[in-house]
Structure 1
Amino acid sequence: MQIDTLSEFLAQAGTEFRLYDLGRRLQPLSNDDFAAIEANQRPYPWPLQHHAWLAVCYWQSQGQAQPYVWFLKLPLDERGLFNNGAVKHFLAALVEQLGQDVSAELSDEQQQRLAQTPFTFQPSPDKLAAFHARLGLSLNLPASAFFNGVCEYLQDPKQQDWQQLGLQGIADLAARLHQNTELSQLLASQLLTLPTQVKDALLTQCEHQPLPEPLTHLLLNAINSELEHAAPNQERIAQLLRATAGSPKCAERQQKVASLLALNPSQPVMLSLAARLWQDLADETVLITYLAQLAELHSELFNGLFAELVSIPALRPLILGNLHNNDLPPHLKRALGSLFTGVR
C-alpha cells in the first residue's frame, strides 16, 4: 500500500498523534484539519515564509505512552497548499531511517541524516519551552522540575534569586494560567513589578498560551499606562500587546489595536500585529488602516509584510478584494502600485 501523507504513515504505524503549529506562535492543529490540509482540501491556516512549521508528537497506541516529536518545515505553494512532493520526499527519508517502526531508537548518525533533510528545523528556545509545556499539559504529564521554583518565586520575589529560575518552569506556568485561577491571580499581582528579565520571559511565554480574561485586561491596561508617559516605550507596548496573542479575539483588544493604529504606530507594534496578532487584522477597516499606516510610516517594511499577510488564508480574500479599491489612501495605492510593478 502506497503511503502519501504523514497522517497515513502514523496511522499505519499504529500510533496516536497530535500536531502543533510553531510558526507565528504556538497553536494546536486538529488531526481532522490536518488531514484536510494534506488532501489539499484547504490551505494551511498559519503559513510563515511560505512554509508550515509543525511539531508532530506521536506515541504507540498500545502500552506505555512514550511521546516522540518531529519538527517539520514543509513548503507551501502560492495558494497555501502543501507541496506533496516535499511530503513524499520526507516520508521516503523517514522510512529509510526508521523502517516501519516509528518508535525505533535512532542512532546519532541516523538522527543527523534525518536532520539534514530540508524538512526539519530546530525551534527557538522560547517556542520549544512553550511547546513542551502545552504538550505535557495535554497529555496529563507532570510539570518540569523548574515549575515549583517559579511558583515559589512569585510568592515572594524579593526573597528569591530570579537567576535560578528555569525557562521551562516559566513556560509551564504560562501554560496553566487559563485553567488555574489562583496561579493567574498570583501572576497578575506581581507581573508588572518583576525584574525586567523575568517579566520579559513571562510575557514572551504568554504569547503562546490562552490567558484568562482578567490577565488579558491587565496587560491591555498596562499599555494605557505606558501611553501616558511623555516618551512611551514602544518596545514595551508591542510586548504587552503580543502577550495577549494566544487569547481569543475580544472587543477590548480590537479597540486597543484600532487606537494604536490611529496613533502613528511604531515599527515594533506593526511587526507584532503581523507576526502574532494577524487575527485582529481580519476586520476589513482595521486591515486597510494597518496597510495604509505601513505604507506611509514604514515603507521599508511594506513589501515583506504584505507578502506575509496576503499568504494568510483569513486575510488573503480581504487584501485581494481591495487591490483595485479606488477609495484606498494615496500612500497605500502608491505602495501597491510599486509592489506589483516590481513583480512584473
Structure 2
Amino acid sequence: MQIDTLSDFLTQAGTEFRLFDLGRRLQPLAHSDFAAIEAGQRPYPWPLQRHAWLAVCYWQQQGGQPYVWFLKIPLDERGLFNNAAVKHFLAALVEQLGGDIHAPLTEEQQQNLADTPFTFQPPQDKLAAFHARLSLALEHAPSAFYQGAVDYLNAPARHNWQQLGLQGLADVAARLHKDDALARRVQQQLWQLPAPVQQALLTQCEHHPLPAALANNIITAISAEQERGEPDEERIALLLRATAGCAPFRARSAKLSSLMSLNPGQPVLLALAARLWQELTDETLLLQYLTLLAEHHGDLFNGLFAELVSVPALRPLILANLHNPELPAPLKQAFGNLFAASRG
C-alpha cells in the first residue's frame, strides 16, 4: 500500500477529517487546497517561520473518537511542502499502528507521535479557538464553559468574571458571526467589561469572522484610544488584531492608512505582519509599511521582510518592487543591505 501524503493516509484509513492552519491565526484549510499543496502544485498559503502549522482532526467514518494532530511541516524556499518530513511522520505513524492503518491509536501511541520533531503544542489561546471552531464546524455542542460566558455577558454585575473559562469566551467568539443576538450583546457590553475579560475576548475574536457592525465598532474604538493624551499602542494593536478574521473592509483599511501616516510603534507594525498581512496586498500600504520599518525600525526589517516575502499573496508584490527606482531612500538602502548580506 503506497502512502505518500497525509491525505493518502487519512483516506485509506477510512476517516473523515478537517484541516486548520494555526500559524499566524486560526484558519480552515479546504481539502482540495490541501491536496494541491501536498502535490506541490501551489505553495502553502500561510507560512510562518518557513513552516506550515497544521491542526488535523480525524475520525472513523462509522463514528468513534476524534483524534487531533498538531503538525509542524517544514517548507522549502518556494513555500512548498517538504515531502521528506511528511513521509518521516507517516512512517512513524504506521510504525505506531503496527502496520494496520485502520487500528485506533492508544493514548500511549498518541504521546509517542507527539514526541516527533514534526508536532507542536499550540498556545492556550489558539488551542481554545481551535476547539471552539472545530465544535462549530462539526455541529457539536460548545464546551461546558460556554453557558457561563453567555450568562456573564447577559448580566456582568451578577457574576464573578474570575470564574469564567477561556474556552467559554472562545466559544462565544466563534459563534458571533452566526448568532446575531449574541453579537449584539457582546457589542453592548464589550467596552464595560473588566480589562482581562475584554482582552481575552478580543484575542479570541482575531481567529474568527465577525459581524460587520461589531468589526466597525472595534475599529472606532481605535479612534477613541488615539484621542487620549498618551495612546496605548499595545491596545491599538489588540483592537486591530481582533478584526483579523474579517476580510478587508473600508473602515479598517482607512484606519491602517491613517495609522501608517502617524509613524506607529512596533506593536502596530508587528500586528500588521502577524495577523493582517492580507491588508498589505494593497501595494501603496505595503511600500509605506516597508519604508516605515526601514526608516524607524531597522532592527525589525530583515526578520519581517523574510516573513512577508514568504507569504504567496505578498511575494510577487515585494519582488516586483525590489529594484523600483521610485522607492524612498531608506527602503532602497534597506534592500541594498539585504542583498549585501545575502552575498555574504
TM-score by length of 2: 0.98
The answer for the alignment partner of 2:34 in structure 1 is 34
The answer for the alignment partner of 1:44 in structure 2 is 44
The answer to whether residue 95 in structure 2 is matched with residue 96 in structure 1 is yes
Aligned length: 342
The answer for the alignment partner of 1:8 in structure 2 is 8
Q: Map of 1:276-291 to 2, 5 A cutoff?
A: 276-291=275-290
The answer for the alignment partner of 1:307 in structure 2 is 306
> Aligned letter for 1:200?
Q
| Superposed CA offset, 1:101-136 (max 9, x none) | 35513242x333211211000000000000000000
The answer for the alignment partner of 1:296 in structure 2 is 295
- State the shift of 1:256 in Å: 1.1
Q: Secondary structure at the match of 1:152?
A: helix
- State the shift of 1:254 in Å: 1.1
Matches of 1:147 and 1:165 in 2, distance apart?
9
The answer for the alignment partner of 2:139 in structure 1 is 140
The answer to whether residue 330 in structure 2 is matched with residue 331 in structure 1 is yes
Q: Map of 1:73-222 to 2, 5 A cutoff?
A: 73-98=72-97, 99-101=99-101, 104-108=104-108, 110-222=109-221
Please provide the CA RMSD for this pair: 1.0
> Aligned letter for 2:281?
A
Runs of 4+ aligned residues of structure 1 deviating over 3 Å after TM superposition are none
Q: Secondary structure at the match of 1:18?
A: strand
Matches of 1:112 and 1:130 in 2, distance apart?
22
The answer for the alignment partner of 2:316 in structure 1 is 317
Q: Secondary structure at the match of 1:208?
A: coil
Matches of 2:115 and 2:65 in 1, distance apart?
25
The answer for the alignment partner of 1:235 in structure 2 is 234
- State the shift of 1:43 in Å: 0.2
Matches of 2:233 and 2:163 in 1, distance apart?
29
> Aligned letter for 2:31?
N
Q: Secondary structure at the match of 2:54?
A: strand
Inter-CA distance 55–102: structure 2 relative to 1 (3 Å threshold): farther
- Indicate if the aligned counterparts of 2:19 and 2:29 stay in contact, CA closer than 8 A: yes
> Aligned letter for 1:178?
H
- State the shift of 1:193 in Å: 1.4
> Aligned letter for 1:67?
P
Matches of 1:78 and 1:265 in 2, distance apart?
31
Matches of 2:152 and 2:101 in 1, distance apart?
44
> Aligned letter for 1:55?
A
- State the shift of 1:266 in Å: 1.2
Matches of 2:195 and 2:129 in 1, distance apart?
20
- State the shift of 1:65 in Å: 4.6
- Indicate if the aligned counterparts of 2:14 and 2:102 stay in contact, CA closer than 8 A: no
Matches of 1:301 and 1:277 in 2, distance apart?
17
For structure 1, which runs of at least 5 residues remain unmatched after alignment?
Answer: none
> Aligned letter for 1:168?
Q
Matches of 1:41 and 1:21 in 2, distance apart?
18
Matches of 2:103 and 2:288 in 1, distance apart?
50
Inter-CA distance 176–107: structure 2 relative to 1 (3 Å threshold): closer
218-227 or 334-343, which deviates more? 334-343
The answer for the alignment partner of 1:263 in structure 2 is 262
Matches of 1:267 and 1:152 in 2, distance apart?
37
Identity over the aligned pairs, expressed in percent?
66
Matches of 2:290 and 2:134 in 1, distance apart?
36
For structure 2, which runs of at least 5 residues remain unmatched after alignment?
Answer: none
- Indicate if the aligned counterparts of 1:51 and 1:73 stay in contact, CA closer than 8 A: yes
- Indicate if the aligned counterparts of 1:59 and 1:103 stay in contact, CA closer than 8 A: no
TM-score by length of 1: 0.98
122-131 or 64-73, which deviates more? 64-73
- State the shift of 1:180 in Å: 0.3
Matches of 1:209 and 1:27 in 2, distance apart?
8
298-307 or 246-255, which deviates more? 246-255
The answer to whether residue 55 in structure 2 is matched with residue 55 in structure 1 is yes
> Aligned letter for 2:50?
H
Q: Secondary structure at the match of 2:19?
A: strand
- Indicate if the aligned counterparts of 1:60 and 1:103 stay in contact, CA closer than 8 A: no
Matches of 1:336 and 1:159 in 2, distance apart?
57
- Indicate if the aligned counterparts of 1:209 and 1:246 stay in contact, CA closer than 8 A: yes
Matches of 1:220 and 1:102 in 2, distance apart?
49
